[in-house]
Structure 1
Amino acid sequence: MSYNILAQDLLELHQDLYTHCPLEVLDWNYRFSLLVGEIQKWTPDIVCLQEVQENHYHEQLHPFLSEMGYTCVYKRRTGTKTDGCATCYRSSCFSQVVVTELEFFRPETELLDRHNVGIVLLLRPVVAQGSEVKGKAPPLCVANTHLLFNPKRGDVKLAQLAIMLAEISSVVKSCKAKGEHCNVVLCGDFNSVPHMLLYQLITTGELYYQGLPATCG
C-alpha cells in the first residue's frame, strides 16, 4: 500500500485548495480513522506513506502500526516543513537488512535546493514453517519518496528522482555482488502522470534531457 495521507499542517497552509470539501472531512481525526480502517481492511505486508506529519506519526500512526505488527522507518523533510515519509513492513514477513534515509537538498547543487526526502530499505523475507525460520529468500528493495510538487520545476523532480534511482541501483548491485537477485518496489508521490519524463525515466531507464525546458518533468 502506498498513500499520500495529506499532512494537516499543509492542508491548513493551503486551504484554498480544499474549498470544495466539507470541513468535517478535512479534520485530521476523521481522516485518521478512515486511514486506520483502510490498513486494517487490506493488512498490506508493506505500507509506504507520504506527507506524514511528524507529531501525528509519533503520537498516533506509529503506535497503531506497531500494535498491528509493523516495524516503521520515518524520515522528516529537511527545512521547516513538519511532514515526511514513512515506510512500514510486517515484522512477521520481513527482517531489515539495510536502511538508507535520503535527503535531496544539496546546497552545492543548484537544482537540488528543495527539502524533499526518501527512504530505501533492503528487506529479507522471512521464510517460516511453524515457529522455525526455514530457508533464505531473495532480498527485496523497497523505496519510498515524495518528489517536489511544483509543476514548473520538472528539472528538480528529475534530479531528485535520479538520486533515488542511484541509491536503488547501489542496493541492487550490492546484492548482485553477493550472488543474490534483488527485486525492487518503488513507491511514492511523484507529482507526475504517465506521459511525463519522470515516468519515462523510471520505466525505460533512459532520458535525453538536452534542450528540454525546466517544466519537462
Structure 2
Amino acid sequence: MASKEICLYPPVPVVHVPVRLALRDIKPPPTTDSNKDDNNSKNSHENDEKKKREALINSNFTNFIHRDKISDIKIFIDGVQVNNSPNAEEKKKSPILSSISKFFSGDSNNNQKDHFYGTPDAQFIPLNKESAIFIPGVEHANKELTISFTMKKKTFELKSTIEYRHQREWTSIGAQDGGDDAQHPIRIMQYNIQADCYTSPGGYPGCPPYSLYRNYREHVLSNYILEWKPDIACLQEVEVRMERLRNSLVDAGYQHTPLCDLAKYQEEQAIVYYRTDRFDLIESLLVNYRQLKDLLKPKQLEPLARSSCTSKYIDLLGDSMHHNKFSFALLKDKQSGSHILAGSVHLYWGAPSYDVNYFLQVVQLQIFMKLAENILERNSLPKDTPLVVSGDFNNGPGQKAYILMESGEYSLNGYPLTHSFNMKSSYALRPQGEPKYTIRTKHFFGSIDQIWVSDKLKVSKILEIGDHYPIQLPSLTDPSDHIMLLADLYVSNNNDKLTTTTTTTTTTSTTTDDINNTNE
C-alpha cells in the first residue's frame, strides 16, 4: 500500500485575506525641514506611525506585516486549539516566539525570495518544514486550519484548508527487451497545466479563490513537476508570463523549446522541457499555425490549401490565436547516443460546431506529423527514430484525431490525411485501456490527454490516475483541471508484443530561413 502523505501547499498556509503574512517595512516620508521644533517632530512621527498602521491594515497585497508587530500566535483545527511543537514551552518564554521570527523573517539569502511574491525587497515566509510552525497530519485532512495572531492589540484570524493529496500507483507493462537502454528509461510527463487566463474564480466555485491565482499555482506546479523528475515534460497552456515556474524548472536543470512572442498577445502555448544533464538539443521548433508557409514545404501545403475539403480549415488556423502553438525538440541522449524527437501538442477546441473542432484537429495533426518527418529529414535521421507526441488532444478513443494517430490515416470528407509513423498510446496498454478521464471539471470530464510513442519505443510503466479526484478540478493540491500523466519508456531491440501486469553534441536552433532553405 502506498504511503499516505498530507500536503498543505505551500507548506505554510496561503490565505485569501487583505493582509499577507510577510515582512516589508513602510518607510515614512523624509523630513525636509530640519528646523522644526520637538512638538512638530513628535506630531509628524505620530502621523507617520498612523499612516503606517493604516497601510498595514488596509493592505492591497503590496504591503506586509513586520514580524515585530506580532506578539502572539495560536493554531486551531476546526476550532480546537492544537500545539504541534515539541518545544512549545520554551518558545512561550520568548518575548517574540522564535518560531514566529523564523517563520516571518526567512533567510535573507534564500534564492526563492526574489520570485515568490514578486517583491524582491521583501522577506517572506520560507517554504520548508524546519520553518513551519505547524505540520498537519492525516487526521487533519479536510478540516479547517485557523491561525490567530495578535498585532498591536488587534487580533486577526487567517483561514486555510488542509487538503489530502492521494498517492498514485504505477502499472508495469511487461518484460523489458531494450538491453542497457531498458535500465535507463526515459520518463515522459504529459501535463496541461491550465493557463492563468482560463482560471477565473467564477468558473470554479468549489475551489478556494486564492488557489486559482498565478502565484499559488506556479509554486504548486513547480513542486509537483519536479517531484516526479521527468526527463522530458510536454506541457500545454504554458504562458510566457509564468516566469516563476520557468525559473524554478531552469534552476533544477531543465531547458525548454522557444517561447512565443508575448508582444503579439499570444497568451499560451504547448512547450517541451528536457533535462540538460541527460540530453543535448539538436533542433527545436515552435510550430505556429499562423505561419504555415514558413513551416511546410510547398508540396505539403498546397494540396491542403487547394482542396475544398481542407482549405477552409487552413484559413481558420491562419486566423486563430487559440490552441495553435505547438513545439518540437530533437534530442540526443548523452549516455546512449540515441536520438528522440518529442512533440507537445494542444489540439484546437472552441468553435461553435463540434464538427469544425474535430476537423480542425485532424488538419492540425496531419501538419504536425509532416513537420516531424521534415525534422528527421533535415537532420539525416531515419524515419524510425524514436518519436513521442504528447499532449491535450481534446480527443479520445474512437474520435477523429485518435483514429488518425492510431491508424495513420483518416478520410476528411474524402480527402486522405495520413502520417508515416506507427504510433500507440502509452495508457492504452493498460489492462483497462485508456483511463476514464484525464480532465475533470464541472461541465466536462473525459479521457483527452495521451502520450503517443512510435514502435521503436516500448513502455516500461505508467502512473495510474486512480479514482480519488474531487468532482471538479483544480483543487488546492492539483493545480490544473487536467491530470498529469507519466510514462517510462525505453528504446526496444525488437518489436515483440509485451504483456501487462499491474503493481502498486552540437546544438542548432532552427529559424524560418533555415526551413525555407530546405523547402521544395
Whether 1:190 aligns to 2:377 is no
Distance in structure 1 (CA, Å) of the matches to 2:373 and 2:276? 25
Whether 1:205 aligns to 2:393 is no
Distance in structure 2 (CA, Å) of the matches to 1:178 and 1:55? 35
1:57-72 superposed matches below 5 A: 59-72=243-256
Q: Which of the two has greater strand per residue?
A: 1
Q: Which runs of 4+ in 1 moved over 4 A?
A: 177-181
The one-letter code of the counterpart of 1:110 is: D
Instruction: Give the CA RMSD over aligned residues.
Output: 2.5
Indicate how the Cα distance of structure 1 residues 99 and 49 shifts in structure 2: closer, same or farther if over 3 A, else same: same
The one-letter code of the counterpart of 2:363 is: A
**Structure 1, unaligned stretches of length 5 or more?**
128-135, 213-217
Whether 1:5 aligns to 2:5 is no
Distance in structure 2 (CA, Å) of the matches to 1:62 and 1:20? 28
Aligned to 2:7: none
The CA deviation at 1:29 is 2.2
The CA deviation at 1:111 is 3.9
Indicate how the Cα distance of structure 1 residues 191 and 71 shifts in structure 2: closer, same or farther if over 3 A, else same: same
The CA deviation at 1:8 is 1.1
The CA deviation at 1:206 is 0.7
Aligned to 1:123: 331
The CA deviation at 1:209 is 1.8
1:151-162 superposed matches below 5 A: 152=354, 153-162=357-366
Counting aligned pairs with the same residue, the percent is: 27
Kept in 2: contact 1:146–1:190 (CA 8 A): yes
Distance in structure 1 (CA, Å) of the matches to 2:316 and 2:268? 22
Kept in 2: contact 1:74–1:84 (CA 8 A): no
Deviations 1:101-134 (A, max 9, x none): 111125973242323111111100011xxxxxxx
Instruction: Pick the structure with greater CA Rg.
Output: 2
**Structure 2, unaligned stretches of length 5 or more?**
1-188, 293-304, 306-313, 416-520
The one-letter code of the counterpart of 1:22 is: P
Deviations 1:6-31 (A, max 9, x none): 1112323xx55323333232122222
Distance in structure 2 (CA, Å) of the matches to 1:85 and 1:180? 24
Aligned to 1:215: none
Whether 1:139 aligns to 2:339 is yes
The CA deviation at 1:86 is 2.4
Q: Which of the two has greater helix per residue?
A: 1
The one-letter code of the counterpart of 2:334 is: V
Indicate how the Cα distance of structure 1 residues 178 and 86 shifts in structure 2: closer, same or farther if over 3 A, else same: closer
Task: Give 3-state SS (helix, strand or coil) of 2:265's partner.
Answer: coil
The CA deviation at 1:83 is 1.6
Distance in structure 2 (CA, Å) of the matches to 1:77 and 1:4? 20
Aligned to 1:48: 234
Distance in structure 2 (CA, Å) of the matches to 1:160 and 1:36? 29
The one-letter code of the counterpart of 2:342 is: V
Kept in 2: contact 1:7–1:52 (CA 8 A): yes
Deviations 1:48-67 (A, max 9, x none): 111112111xx212211111
Aligned to 1:76: 260
The one-letter code of the counterpart of 2:366 is: A
The CA deviation at 1:201 is 0.4
Indicate how the Cα distance of structure 1 residues 75 and 162 shifts in structure 2: closer, same or farther if over 3 A, else same: farther
Distance in structure 2 (CA, Å) of the matches to 1:180 and 1:159? 21
1:16-27 superposed matches below 5 A: 16-27=202-213
Task: Give 3-state SS (helix, strand or coil) of 1:85's partner.
Answer: strand
Deviations 1:36-82 (A, max 9, x none): 221221111111111112111xx212211111011112433786342
Whether 1:110 aligns to 2:315 is yes
Kept in 1: contact 2:257–2:271 (CA 8 A): yes
